[in-house]
Amino acid sequence: MSRLPTLDQVAAWPAERIAALPAPELAQLLARLDAQRGLTKTAATRLAEGLELKYGSRIAGERQAQGKPLGRIRIMDAGVAVVHEVDKQVVWDQDKLAALAKAGLAEKGYDPAELLSTTYTVSEKAYAAWPSPLRVLFEPARTERPKGSKWEMPIAKPARPVAA
């Protein structure tokens, strides 16, 4: 019986070499990969919990001081940047959008078919490009919510010496 390659080895192999492996080895590699994926997910969750415990209060204070509930906040700890990002998710109230579409966009000179899709979604790019009076009209149907967050601690790489 051959020794099963490591996932690091498999990652470096061309697809043809992987395809040449016997089915039992491929099955074992897939099982190993699933286990590794689960371990990685658990480790990422624990690390995020630890970072939240260590830096959460400072980040929350900085968010409040900057008036920034969403987006990136950067603090320093022992010369290391700690970056916390909260993505935004825009949610459009379907009932309000439907009412606005029916309430007379055409009366105001706008074609509802150009501004709204049949599922009543509005792209953020389009919304940002709308004239201010139109954005104001639609603001009651728009909500920004936190979508998720992530932590980063970029490590500065030392500069390589320049050859003389």
Q: What is d(CA 75, CA 16) in angstroms, rounded to the nearest whole number?
A: 47
Band (pLDDT 50/70/90 cuts) for residue 163 is low
CA atoms within 13 A on the CB side of 68: 14
Mean pLDDT computed over every residue of the chain? 86
| Higher-confidence position of 153 and 138 | 138
In this predicted model, what pLDDT tens digit does every residue of 57-76 receive, in sequence order? Answer: 999 999 999 999 999 999 99
Residue-level pLDDT at 159: 56
- Tell if the pTM clears 0.85, that is, is over it: no
Residue 84 backbone dihedrals phi, psi, to 5 degrees: -120, 130
| Cα–Cα distance for residue pair 20/71, rounded to 1 Å | 47
Confidence (pLDDT) at 103? 74
* Residue 2: predicted pLDDT: 65
Q: Above pLDDT 90, what percent of the chain?
A: 51
In this predicted model, what pLDDT tens digit does every residue of 9-52 receive, in sequence order?
Answer: 999 999 999 999 999 899 999 989 989 999 999 999 999 999 99
Question: What gap in Å lies between CA 38 and CA 91, rounded to an integer?
Answer: 31
User: Residue 61: what pLDDT?
Assistant: 97
CA–CA distance from 111 to each of 67, 87, 90, 116, 124 (Å)?
A: 36, 31, 23, 9, 18
145, 88 contact by CB (below 8 A): yes
Task: Tell me whether residue 32 is exposed, middle or buried, using C-beta atoms within 10 angstroms of its C-beta: 0 to 12, 13 to 18, 19 or more.
Answer: middle
Which is more confident, 66 or 116? 66
Task: Note whether 87 and 146 are within 8 A (CB).
Answer: yes
